Chain A
Amino acid sequence: MKQVKHRNSTSKVLGFCLAVMLAFSTSIFAQGDPVAGKALFNSNCAACHKLDKKMTGPALRGVVDRIDDKDWLYSWIRNSAKMVKSGDPYAVKIFAEYNNTAMTAFPQFSDADIDNILAYTSAPKPVSKVAVASIGSDSSDDGVSVDIVLGLLALILVVLAAMLFMVTKTLGNLAKQAGVEVEKTDPIWKRFVKNQFLVLVSVIAFMMFGAFHVFGFFMQVGVDQGYKPVQPIHFSHKIHAGDNGIDCKYCHSNARVSKTSGIPALNVCMNCHKTITEVAPETADADYSKDFYDKQIQKLYKATGWSESDQAYTGTPEPVKWVRVHNLPDFAYFNHSQHVTVGGVACQKCHGPVEEMEILEQHEPLTMGWCINCHRDTNVKTEGNEYYTKIHAELKKKYGVDQLTVAQMGGLECGKCHY
């Protein structure tokens, strides 16, 4: 391998060369195809390198500006460990700078491939679009028209009532002037009181109305449907499960084997977020800016005690106190694995379209009636499960059905959930 010993030998030569290189850099390195380079970069390099930020390895934008020797780059990329071993000073320096982590060797890359990648890394940094947060712009537009209509109607009614009052008064005055004896009538409330039937009907109506609402009020006590608390870290299920299509059980792996689905341990987050230090600019939307999301990732680092600059854990984590959304009372036993693994029930059946929720909320009431209704309707997944073979055959004969509901299997008994 060619040794690039001359590089640091004389600064003047270097400076001159650099100037020449820079002058021709586009012509020299732009031979590659930046589009093909991007694909290669993302599939091979992105795990450790970013363009503008240090990660496991150095930031790569403009790497060709830092390292003029193309052959050195070729051999470094194909097998960096060998270069370190041979004692190349720059290679050793880089190796030491990044915690003695050897870069993966890519012997399969052709010169053209490497050129493509380098072309991609040489592309100028895009001017970041400043995301202008549009606050309260068009979200309230729809409501205004309705309000105006209602307001107008109210106004008309008031005007009409006033007119009616004035008409009666004028008529009364006219009659008085004309000397017509107007029969004095009782005020309306007196007449209402005198009408026993009306009183009775309205009392009954009022009581029924009251009872309905009191019952309704008590029935929703302890039912937290729609509960949507603010979490210490704004974790978006929409981005993770929706946009990125991560399987629920990747993070909530406990749901497969345990009674609890488990709030994932933060080390699970760090599986990805060690490398994903910021969101893509496209992730930002009108409500939440990129800056906002990036701050959430920083919160995760703080919680796990991850130091981005050192690429190491500081050892002083600050565990996150999540606010629990779905909460069953202690006297109800619920087992996730029973439903997820044995029953094959989709998570969304009880948790709603989580993949569309920016902020997680309780989608279903989680009341006993709700559980029971599902047990009545849902068929047990007996196929291929040897546990059910005998029971299924016998129950099939007994009930004369092919499919058994959970209720027919005894899923409505009190003791199945309450002990």
Chain B
Amino acid sequence: MASNKKYWKSVEELDTNSIVETLQQSEFVEEIPVGDFLGDKETLEDSSTTRRDFLKYVGFSTAAASLAACEGPVIKSIPYVVQPEQIRPGVADYYATTIANGYDFASVLVKTREGRPIKIEPNKMAGSNGGTSARVQASVLSLYDNMRLKSAKVNGAITTWSKFDADVTKKLTELNGAGKEVVLLTQTFASPSTTRLIAEFKAKYGNVRHVVYDSISESAALDAFQEKYGERGLAAYNLEDADVIVSVGADFLGDWQGGGHEGAYAKGRVPKKGKMSRHVQFESNMSLSGANADLRVPLTPSQQKVALAKLYGYVTGGSVGGKLPANIEAAVKKTAAELKKAGSRAVVLTGIQDKGAQAVCLVINEALASKAFNTATPVKLRQGSDAAMNQLVADVKSGKIGAVIMAGVNPVYTLANGEAFGDALKKVDLTVSFTEREDETSAYVSYLGAAPHYLESWGDVEFKKGHYSLTQPTIKPLFDTRQFQDSLLKWMGSTESYYTYIKSTWSTGFLSGSSWNKALHDGVLVTPVVAVDAQEGDVVSSEEAPVSNIGSAVAKLAKATSKGMELTLYAKTGMGDGQMANNPWLQEFPDPLTRATWDNYITMSQADADRLGLSLEQSTFFTEARHDANGGLNGTYANITVNGVTLKVPVMIQPGQAVGSIGMAFGYGRKAGLKTEMQTGVSAYKLYANANTIQNVTIEATEGKHEFACLQLHNTLMGRGDIIKDTTLEVFNTKDARIWNPKPMVSKDHVMIPVDSPDADLWTSFDRSIGHHFNLSIDLNSCTGCGACVVACHAENNVPVVGKTEVRRSRDMHWLRIDRYYSSQDSFIGDVEKKDNITGLGSSLVEFAELENPAENPQVVFQPVMCQHCNHASCETVCPVAATSHGRQGQNQMAYNRCVGTRYCANNCAYKVRRFNWFLYNDNDEFDFNMNNDLGKMVLNPDVVVRSRGVMEKCSMCIQMTQKTILDAKRDGRAIKDGEFQTACSNACETGAMTFGDINDHDSDVYKLKNDERAYHLLEHIGTEPNVVYHTKVRNSNEA
């Protein structure tokens, strides 16, 4: 029987009239104040909206809104009134032109659509200067930079060009009358026409001085060359002709002496008939060149000088003093022996900013009679003179100068004492600057000339003596800009345009009968070398005493010592000298070595960091130190002091950095004329005293934790030799390919069979033998890691920029990444051996942890990874909506409009190449990069979709390019030749590391490469059968 027990919560409930009773009756403890709202009868009656009306309105507006959303928008189309003959909407035009911004020089092809330049391609007719670096590829975006200077200004107020000209000419005439000196302070133009023009300007205005200034100086090398050969230039090196390349502090795969060496270098790096070149690098910072070297010897800058002196001694047979650590001494000795053995097929390069060192280098190459060394056609891409610049700074400060007219330079930013120079400039009667943006210098200048981008300009360049190239506009100037040269012509009272001026320079000079139109079409002209060129800039004798006696120069080098830490300033692959700092593609471009984006820092060895207390502990399960929970890399800050200038800079641990040295990149820390997002890093120019890249530095730890945005969080391969196959030339030459490039085996019925045998296959294979079947071949031997392909892919495929915070969360959108791995032992082969010898729990716990840490001087390897376009793709099978599928031509296709964003594919991808659009990256103020304004959007490729939020994207193997090639052939009714098929990355690759083509064409290069004995697939053992093929890296560790 049910119990009759009654439970109560409190004693009050027993009392019948208690408050409990009342409370039980009402739903809410307090009275709901409906009266306040509904009780006011007047308000209710005044309101004409009844409840029913209200519901009607809500219902109607919801229905109307949803119906209206279904209505298609009316799209207006405005055709040309008069269509230009050359332009066909929907068809791309290519023009040959030349970038010459004072730092980057290259002969390029510009792809234009409907009159808009959208892509920079290499000019393959141009030979050694036709390659495109990451910066050159990105330069097209700088054209559509909203922060550009849009019209001429006087003292900050917008003015017209006619007013501008009137003012300047008036002042110039006055100054001429008063006998005051006018200074033209320009970048290196390397332009025969500009040199001629400036000579005429001098004739007109009398007291004119022309100072050429390079933001990152090569003055020492220029002075040494000039002294020895009588002409201002740099020795031309053709590394293809060298079997032994020895570099002492020269990052020749970077921007050393104007760059452009990687194409020739890479040709000798691919083993042919058992031979390849040997590359020895002596350097402090880990540079691209060092990363590619067969032998890399880390040493401090002062040791570099001694090493160079000793090399001289060993090669020429004299004895040279100076002290070096035993291991370096031995390396130098061995290297010298290799040099001597190779004789004329050896070459020595140096990047030491010291006239003596440069002179010694020239002498060594002469002693070797190096075939790769050419002084008859000197390189003209750097002309700046430190002596002339120092003289100018002194003269401006003393008030001697009447006018300073600048073009393409930003001295307030790039001089170590920039602000002081700026203040002195303010006292000069007339200051003019031609600039693309209101930069640091603009604040100190009264007349600002808005300069056009090179894609809007005319110009000519002499790369090497006798190697000419033309710049032509590919778009009408976007803003009210005018070239420096056109302005000079105006001020000289000429009515001529710079275009006709160039034409007359060429036709009276070196065109010598060949066609101007052909030169303009090709972009380049090579003429037999004639007389000595007119010098760009005035002749200034070097401040250092002439190197009369090479012996004393060597002795001086050999004595070089340093007490404390030494700093080597360098230019990053992405940022260069910093003039394109407002370019989001370059900011997000990961540094090939540190893989950091949106930043600069000091690079330091682990040993020094430990010593100075600048190293963070490894993060554990419980603590966050070196890495945050989301993986983001952290760093400490250091105060570094050079000549009394102190900067607070984050510290990046760099394996391979010579102990006792640090490195820091130029080009960061800019503020003026840059969007807030782009104002990253710290300016290293502040430490660039006397234009010397090597400085003595004191370092002390300071508080704070810096957050880096790195694209790669693990640094070593952990001995996984199947990801990077790596061998030595000796093994490669003597052993069977099965030894150094083994095919992975899998077990079937307890029998081991090769993974690519049909029996090992879970899937039915499709017949791909008909039509085209695309493959991309990547040779790890010739890939230098320069990253031109990364930016080319960005530009071709409308890849969005996501910004620093998102990159730190590993949400970067690069379709193509270049993985960089360090070895944990001295070599990758050592890693594999160590891994293979691990047995038992104790050993694996300890030794695997050890393998995670890069060696002090590790081997480095670069591996470009994009979608591998697997024939048996793991992503395709897991997509619930079949948004990703396989084409017969071998491409793994991605239909964005079908994708619902489950991200299963990205999870299932073995290569981690799929990128998810976490946000809307266009028209979104949170991502204020080029896709957020109409100007920046003009760079978008109209043949590729701009992806929206919530869809997956990845490399398409540039299907828009392969489809176009096919269509062109169909339309012309012809078969396709080998080499016609290209992707953005393979086309941008100057070294030929990437080769793309059709493997059903058995005569094609890519077919041969695919069947080469060095060929392997990434993670081959999982049986995905990728259409991207890699080539085993062979290192020439044979010491001759």
Contacts and interface: CB of A to CB of B under 8 A. Distances in A.
Interface of A: 221-222, 224, 227, 229, 254, 257-260, 262-268, 303-305, 317, 319-324, 327, 329-333, 335, 337-338, 341-342, 384-391, 394-395, 398, 409-410, 413-416, 418-419
Contact of B81 (A266, A337, A418): A266
A395 B769 CA distance: 10
Contact of B770 (A337, A338, A395, A416): A395
B893 A418 contact: yes
B956 A419 contact: yes
B77 A263 contact: yes
Contacts of A265: 79-83
Contacts of A257: 88, 91, 971
Contacts of A329: 897
B889 A410 contact: yes
Interface residues of B, number: 50
B154 interface: no
Contact of B90 (A227, A254, A319, A409): A254
A160 to B, nearest CB: 37
Interface stretch (B282-290, B420-428, B962-970): B962-970
B970 A342 contact: yes
B74 A398 contact: no
Interface in B866-902: 883, 885, 887-889, 891, 893-898
A324 to B, nearest CB: 4
A335 B90 CA distance: 9
A386 B968 CA distance: 12
B14 interface: no
B79 A266 contact: yes
B79 A264 contact: yes
A388 B770 CA distance: 11
Contacts of A317: 81
Contact of A333 (B79, B82, B943, B974): B943
Given A322-B77, A324-B75, A410 B888 contact: yes
A334 to B, nearest CB: 10
Contacts of A415: 885, 887, 891, 893-895, 956, 959
Contact of B945 (A305, A342, A398, A419): A419
A178 to B, nearest CB: 49
B741 to A, nearest CB: 32
Nearest to B82: A267
Contacts of B88: 254, 257-258, 262
B895 A262 contact: no
B81 A321 contact: no
A101 to B, nearest CB: 21
A414 B956 CA distance: 12
Contact of B967 (A262, A266, A268, A338): A338
A303 B896 CA distance: 40
Contacts of B894: 415, 418-419
Contacts of A395: 770-771
Contact of A259 (B90, B770, B883, B975): B90
B513 interface: no
A202 B90 CA distance: 56
Contacts of B963: 333, 416, 419
A161 to B, nearest CB: 32
15 contacts: A254-B88, A265-B79, A265-B81, A267-B80, A321-B78, A323-B76, A335-B967, A387-B966, A390-B975, A410-B887, A410-B888, A414-B885, A419-B894, A419-B956, A419-B960
Ordered nearest first, which 6 A-B pairs have the shortest CB separation? Answer: A415-B893, A258-B90, A265-B83, A265-B80, A259-B90, A263-B79
A387 B974 CA distance: 5
A324 B77 contact: yes
B89 interface: yes
Contacts of A331: 896-897, 945
Contacts of A229: 74
A388 B966 CA distance: 11
Given A254-B90, A257-B88, A257-B971, A391 B78 contact: no
B580 to A, nearest CB: 29
B976 interface: yes
Q: Identify whether the interface residues of A are mostly helix, strand, loop, or mixed.
A: loop
A41 to B, nearest CB: 31
Contacts of A263: 77, 79
A323 B883 CA distance: 33
Nearest to B956: A419
Contact of A266 (B80, B888, B960): B80
Given A330-B945, A387-B974, A323 B74 contact: yes
B70 interface: yes
Given A258-B89, A266-B82, A385-B970, A224 B975 contact: no
Interface string B51-88: 00000000000000000001010111111111100001
Contacts of B166: none
B752 interface: no
Contacts of B893: 413-415, 418-419
Nearest to B75: A324
B81 A304 contact: yes
B842 interface: no
Given A257-B91, A415-B885, 8 more contacts: A262-B79, A266-B80, A386-B975, A398-B767, A414-B887, A418-B898, A418-B945, A419-B945
A337 B967 contact: yes
Contacts of A384: 973
Nearest to B76: A321
Nearest to B769: A394
B894 to A, nearest CB: 7
B767 A319 contact: no
B944 interface: yes
Contacts of B74: 229, 323-324
Interface in B492-526: none
Contacts of A227: 72
A288 B82 CA distance: 29
Nearest to B973: A385
Contacts of A322: 76-79
Interface in B234-271: none
Nearest to A262: B89
A388 to B, nearest CB: 8
Nearest to B944: A419
A222 B885 contact: no
Nearest to B91: A258
Nearest to B966: A387
B975 A389 contact: yes
A259 B967 CA distance: 10
B15 to A, nearest CB: 52
B88 to A, nearest CB: 5
A258 B92 CA distance: 9
Contact of A341 (B887, B895, B971): B971
A319 B885 CA distance: 44
A390 to B, nearest CB: 7
B62 to A, nearest CB: 16
Nearest to A321: B76
A394 B770 contact: yes
B678 to A, nearest CB: 29
Contacts of B80: 265-267, 319
Nearest to B889: A410
Most central of A322, A413, A415 by chain B CB within 10 Å: A415
A409 B772 CA distance: 11
A115 B654 CA distance: 99
Given A341-B971, A410-B888, A262 B81 contact: no
Contacts of A222: 70, 72
Given A263-B77, A410-B887, A418 B895 contact: yes
B971 A337 contact: yes
B526 to A, nearest CB: 34
B1001 to A, nearest CB: 10
B967 A342 contact: yes
A418 B770 CA distance: 22
B79 A391 contact: no
Most central of B72, B81, B967, B976 by chain A CB within 10 Å: B81
